């Protein structure tokens, strides 16, 4: 468990955060620029001293004002990948990696060759820092942080300085790290698609405070998060269970009491598959749909209809009662206000949700406890 | 060297020896002072800054005089050095090195300060998160990155030390083979009747040395820049 409670006054900016997130896992600090995300990460790393509070990682207290504990940065054993790569320009790539390896306080949990392999650094080893592209620099920076054998890895918008293409190139490496190493991570971002791909837990920050926090599934339904990410990104993140292969090799995945079929490779029966159902990709029907090209439909009960600006957002409980309070997993559908009136949608009404497309977030191979 | 007279050769060797010793004395001290002035805020910061720059604005003869008072055989520091370590500064080449070190100290501190200010603190923070303690960070990150500035400062100070006159002659006098460096030899030659020719040769030697120093400094800086990819 990463446990953070800290306050800090910087000029007119007041920071007061409190959150905890399970370890191992990836907690995303998500929020608009200037809301204090980097400040929080710097306090976890020890580069910035909170005025008050307590920061603890599992059984180790890193900072506690009342107990007079403030572990110095170099003794915290926390890896930090900064927004700018901060590689040592007087050393080559191998030199940068060895710099970290030599100073690792713990015995090597992640070996040199493994890091080089995971991040595909071998061809870069003899290059000097200024001969690397932006994406390569960040990969080296990540490798260097890993080789210090950290107990926690902080990533402060590691992709922010990269263009779209480089970003897409680096994201899979981060997913690999999440899945192959059971290393807790704090991932700072203001890009929701990155958060969606990487995080298991979200801490939503707003003007120096924590607006909401929770697992990614519950948070995907949170109105405060929805307000921040814009209408097109709104959707429900659900954990489905792979139940077998259907016709045409499609993967059958149980969601709530229903089932959808998706195109995916290599997931064994019984494993968990994380899916994102975007609200704009869901069509609501009040009768069993027939004669449609859309293959996936889930039967459910409307649990809420919310006014969301130009359209309405309908929450649909798809049954199974697996979520607290006897409720099943919920999906969101964005429909026009006219449709809400015409279909007489209100809580309690039985509907069919037609799923136009599904985004998969495969967590089956992860080292997380729920896998 | 064949084209130099024994006296000229002696003055040249002495100058190089004094300048080297001078840099050896001032470099570590200048590094420490530059670090304090750049990275620390403390009571007396402004005073220390002013003290460091004093030799730039004082007449060199005044500096030599102050050294004479402090480091003379009966001076508070000179007497102590004599009693405790048997170190004798007055009328020696070590004394000449001290005088030139004090005179070139501001140049060295300025050069180091500028290079220290250009060191990215972010890199030091990164080293810190990788487990490097304060001294480790300084030795493995800050120092290599400020090396170009440090060496440029050292070479400038070395060249300035070759030319120092007033403080040297006041503090350690003009003793052939011990404290008569190139500028002092040049001065002596001018004092002698018919010494114009010798003076001209010494002047040319000084110019050559100065140019060589500047060339080495530039060549070195270029090499380091290439290494760091700037």
Closest approach of B113 to chain A, Cα-based (Å): 19
Phi, psi of A235 (to 5 degrees): -175, 170
Interface test with A, best of B120, B130, B151 (most A CBs within 10 A): B130
pLDDT at A193 over 70: yes
| Contacts with B132 from chain A: Cβ below 8 Å | 74, 103
Contact A145 B129 (CB under 8 A): yes
Q: Which residue of A has its CA nearest to B132?
A: A74
Q: Which residue of A has its CA nearest to B121?
A: A86
Closest approach of B149 to chain A, Cα-based (Å): 14
Q: Which residue of A has its CA nearest to B230?
A: A130
| Contacts with A103 from chain B: Cβ below 8 Å | 130-132, 136
Among A86, A89, A104, beta carbon nearest to B131: A104
| Contacts with B133 from chain A: Cβ below 8 Å | 74
- For residue A361, the model assigns a pLDDT of 62
Mean pLDDT of A202-220: 91
Residue-wise pLDDT for A222-268, tens only, equals 888 888 888 888 888 888 888 888 777 788 888 888 888 887 766 77
Cβ atoms of residues A219 and A212 within 8 Å: yes
pLDDT at B164 over 50: yes
A103 at interface of B, judged by CB pairs closer than 8 A: yes
Residue-wise pLDDT for A115-124, tens only, equals 999 899 999 9
Count of C-beta atoms within a 10 Å radius of residue A371 = 11
Res. B216 pLDDT band, cuts 50 70 90: confident
Closest approach of A102 to chain B, Cα-based (Å): 9
- For residue A371, the model assigns a pLDDT of 26
- For residue A261, the model assigns a pLDDT of 85
Contact B229 A105 (CB under 8 A): no
The full set of domains in chain A, from first to last, is 2-229 (3.40.50.300), 235-356 (2.40.50.100)
Mean pLDDT of A294-319: 88
A106 at interface of B, judged by CB pairs closer than 8 A: no
B228 at interface of A, judged by CB pairs closer than 8 A: yes
Residue-wise pLDDT for B106-117, tens only, equals 999 998 999 899
The full length of chain A comes to 371
Among A residues 113-142, those touching chain B with beta carbons less than 8 Å apart:
128-131
Closest approach of B120 to chain A, Cα-based (Å): 9
Contact A73 B133 (CB under 8 A): no
- For residue B2, the model assigns a pLDDT of 59
- For residue B89, the model assigns a pLDDT of 87
Closest approach of B22 to chain A, Cα-based (Å): 29
Q: Which residue of B has its CA nearest to A146?
A: B130
In angstroms, rounded to a whole number, what is the distance separating the alpha carbons of residues B126 and A79? Answer: 9
| Contacts with A47 from chain B: Cβ below 8 Å | 125, 128-129
Quick one: DSSP state of residue B73? T
| Contacts with A131 from chain B: Cβ below 8 Å | 229
Residue-wise pLDDT for B54-102, tens only, equals 999 999 999 999 999 999 888 889 888 888 888 888 889 999 999 999 9
- For residue A274, the model assigns a pLDDT of 82
Contact A86 B133 (CB under 8 A): no
Q: Which residue of B has its CA nearest to A96?
A: B127
Interface test with B, best of A43, A87, A89, A161 (most B CBs within 10 A): A89
Cβ atoms of residues A172 and A204 within 8 Å: no
Res. B34 pLDDT band, cuts 50 70 90: very high
Q: What is the 3-state secondary structure (H, E, C) of chain A?
A: CEEEEEEEEECCEEEEEEEEECCCCEEEEECCCCCCHHHHHHHHHCCCCCCEEEEEECCEEEEECCCCEECCHHHHCEEEECCCCCCCCCCEHHHHHHHHHHHCCCCCCCCHHHHHHHCCCHHHCCCEHHHCCHHHHHHHHHHHHHHCCCCEEEEECCCCCCCHHHHHHHHHHHHHHHHHCCCCEEEEECCHHHHHHHCCEEEEEECCEEEEEEEHHHHCCCHHHHHHHCHHHCEEEEEEEEEEECHHHCEEEEECCEEEEECCCCCCCCCEEEEEEEHHHEEEECCCCCCCCCCEEEEEEEEEEEEECCEEEEEEECCCCCEHHHECCEEEEEEEHHHHHHHCCCCCCEEEEEECCCEEECCCCCCCCCC
Phi, psi of A347 (to 5 degrees): -50, 135
- For residue B5, the model assigns a pLDDT of 86
- For residue B230, the model assigns a pLDDT of 59
- For residue A315, the model assigns a pLDDT of 93
Contact A90 B122 (CB under 8 A): no
Nearest-5° angle of CA A78, CA A84, CA A85? 65
Closest approach of A152 to chain B, Cα-based (Å): 11
- For residue A365, the model assigns a pLDDT of 35
A86 at interface of B, judged by CB pairs closer than 8 A: yes
| Contacts with A137 from chain B: Cβ below 8 Å | none
B118 at interface of A, judged by CB pairs closer than 8 A: no
The full set of domains in chain B, from first to last, is 6-228 (1.10.3720.10)
| Tokens read off for A322 | 């697996």
Closest approach of B224 to chain A, Cα-based (Å): 9
Q: Which residue of B has its CA nearest to A87?
A: B123
Among B123, B131, B229, beta carbon nearest to A128: B229
Residue-wise pLDDT for B220-230, tens only, equals 878 877 776 65
Nearest-5° angle of CA B127, CA A42, CA B32? 45
Sign (positive or negative) of CA dihedral A265, A232, A366, B130: positive
pLDDT greater at residue A293 or residue A221: A221
- For residue A290, the model assigns a pLDDT of 82
Determine the straight-line distance between the first and last CA of chain B, rounded to whole angstroms: 40
B127 at interface of A, judged by CB pairs closer than 8 A: yes
Closest approach of B123 to chain A, Cα-based (Å): 6
In angstroms, rounded to a whole number, what is the distance separating the alpha carbons of residues B64 and B80? Answer: 19
């Amino acid at each position: 468990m990463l446990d953070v409670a800290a306050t800090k006054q910087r000029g007119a900016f007041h920071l007061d955060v409190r959150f905890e997130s399970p370890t191992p896992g990836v907690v995303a600090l998500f929020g608009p620029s200037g809301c204090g995300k980097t400040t929080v990460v710097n306090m976890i790393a020890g580069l910035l001293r909170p005025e008050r509070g307590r920061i603890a990682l599992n059984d180790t207290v890193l900072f506690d004002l009342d107990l007079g504990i403030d572990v110095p940065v170099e003794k915290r054993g926390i890896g930090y990948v900064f927004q700018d790569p901060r590689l040592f320009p007087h050393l080559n790539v191998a030199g940068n990696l060895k710099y970290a390896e030599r100073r690792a306080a713990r015995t090597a949990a992640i070996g040199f060759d493994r890091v080089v392999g995971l991040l595909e650094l071998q061809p870069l080893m003899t290059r000097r820092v200024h001969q690397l592209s932006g994406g390569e620099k960040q990969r080296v920076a990540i490798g260097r942080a890993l080789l210090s054998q950290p107990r926690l890895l902080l990533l402060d918008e590691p992709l922010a300085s990269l263009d779209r293409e480089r970003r897409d190139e680096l994201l899979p490496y981060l997913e690999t790290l999440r899945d192959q190493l059971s290393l807790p991570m704090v991932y700072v971002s203001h890009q929701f698609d990155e958060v969606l791909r990487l995080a298991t837990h979200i801490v939503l920050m707003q003007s120096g405070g924590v607006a909401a926090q929770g697992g990614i599934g519950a948070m995907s339904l949170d109105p405060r998060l929805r307000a921040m990410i814009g209408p097109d990104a709104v959707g429900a993140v659900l954990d489905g269970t792979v139940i077998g292969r259907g016709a045409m090799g499609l993967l059958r995945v149980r969601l709530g009491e229903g089932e959808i079929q998706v195109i995916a490779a290599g997931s064994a029966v019984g494993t968990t598959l994380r899916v994102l159902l975007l609200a704009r990709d869901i069509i609501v029907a009040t009768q069993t749909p027939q004669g449609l090209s859309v293959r996936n439909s889930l039967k459910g009960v409307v649990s809420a209809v919310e006014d969301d600006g130009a359209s309405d957002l309908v929450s649909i409980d798809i049954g199974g009662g697996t979520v607290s309070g006897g409720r099943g997993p919920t999906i969101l559908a964005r429909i026009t206000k006219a449709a809400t009136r015409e279909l007489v949608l209100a809580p309690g009404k039985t509907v069919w949700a037609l799923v136009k497309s599904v985004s998969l977030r495969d967590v089956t191979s992860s080292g997380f406890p729920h896998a | 060297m064949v084209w130099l007279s024994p006296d000229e050769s002696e003055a040249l060797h002495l100058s190089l020896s004094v300048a080297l010793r001078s840099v050896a004395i001032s470099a570590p001290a200048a590094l420490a002072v530059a670090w304090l002035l750049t990275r620390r805020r403390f009571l007396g910061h402004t005073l220390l800054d002013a003290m460091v720059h004093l030799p730039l604005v004082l007449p060199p003869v005044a500096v030599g005089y102050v050294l004479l008072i402090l480091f003379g055989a009966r001076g508070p520091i000179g007497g102590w050095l004599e009693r405790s370590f048997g170190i004798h500064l007055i009328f020696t080449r070590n004394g000449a090195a001290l005088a030139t070190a004090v005179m070139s100290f501001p140049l060295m501190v300025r050069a180091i300060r500028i290079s220290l200010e250009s060191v990215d603190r972010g890199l030091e923070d990164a080293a810190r998160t990788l487990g490097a303690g304060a001294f480790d960070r300084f030795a493995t990150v800050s120092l290599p990155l400020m090396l170009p500035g440090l060496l440029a400062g050292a070479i400038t100070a070395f060249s300035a030390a070759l030319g120092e006159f007033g403080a040297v002659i006041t503090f350690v006098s003009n003793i052939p083979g011990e404290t008569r460096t190139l500028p002092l030899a040049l001065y002596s030659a001018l004092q002698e009747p018919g010494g114009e020719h010798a003076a001209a040769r010494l002047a040319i030697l000084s110019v050559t040395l100065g140019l060589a120093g500047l060339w080495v400094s530039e060549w070195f800086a270029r090499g380091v820049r290439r290494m760091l990819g700037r």
